Amino acid sequence: MAAKKPTTATHEANITLDKTLHFWSKYNKLIIYIGVAVIAALAAFFAYNKFVKEPKEEKAAEMIFPAQSLFDKMANSDFSKDSVNILLNGGTLPDGSAVTGLLKIMNNYSGTESANLAAYMTGASYLQIKEFDKAIKYLKEFSSHGARQVESKANLMLGHAYAEKKNVNEALSYYKKAASVNDKDETMAPTALMIAANYAESQNNSAEAISLFKQVKDKYPTYPSVASGEIDKHLAKLGVLE
């Protein structure tokens, strides 16, 4: 069963980033922990609707269940290299239960919703162990099928991967894309904008940072960073007094 949304999400969303900006270590729990719950439900929906017509979907759903359960546990605790190895390549857990690796599921059940879910979890896992090129590859293979909240999470993770690779333009592009996927989401959209604004500020792109901070302030006046005055402090630091 997917874990519930953490109660610390709002607090984590408002952490002011350091100049050195290890973005993924700051935001990984917020994005994976929430994202897996949403995409798991999405995968279950599609699999359910295809069981009769496509037995391959049913078999794939059965095969991925242990890996999905392991991923949920890891998202709530720690992505150790040993656990990630089992998740990706398969193996036996300490309790004796067997896990079919996500890479095998994607290869053997290509085109199924379980393979699509596997791409999301694989990209997130590679991001955790700092294999950023592989994280980018699999996250780009993943399709949200129009589920905007999940699409935002995937774009944020892509932003993190590019930020760690010091590809500033791509990182900022994906952070902004995460915010624009559903700008009516008054939690996810301003959170993504805040990440983008902090990132732009850290890269000494003052004009972009000012624009993004102002977007949060103007479009989401009830967002905690606005109410607390955090954004005004950032703007003042950037030479904008309002």
How confident is the model over 163-169, as a mean pLDDT? 94
* Segment 110-161, tens digit of pLDDT: 988 899 999 999 999 999 889 999 999 999 999 988 888 889 989 999 999 9
Asked whether the predicted pLDDT for residue 240 surpasses 70, the reply is yes
Q: How far apart are the C-alpha atoms of 65 and 15, rounded to whole Å?
A: 34
Least confident of 59-63, 166-170, 209-213: 59-63
Q: Which of 32-36, 170-174, 233-237 has the lowest mean pLDDT?
A: 32-36
- Mean pLDDT value across residues 196-225: 94
Q: Where are the domains of the chain?
A: 22-145
pLDDT band at 37 (very low <50, low <70, confident <90, very high): low
Q: Work out the mean pLDDT of the chain and round it to a whole number.
A: 81
Choose the most confident range, by mean pLDDT, from 31-35, 76-80, 233-237.
Answer: 233-237
Residue 17 has pLDDT above 50, yes or no: no
Cβ–Cβ under 8 Å, residues 63 and 116: no
Residue 205: pLDDT above 60?
A: yes
Look up residue 102 and give its amino acid: L
**3 has pLDDT over 60:** no
Taking alpha carbons only, the member of 20, 58, 39 closest to residue 157 is 39
State what percent of residues in the chain have pLDDT above 70: 77
Angle made by CA atoms 6, 170, 24, in degrees to the nearest 5: 30
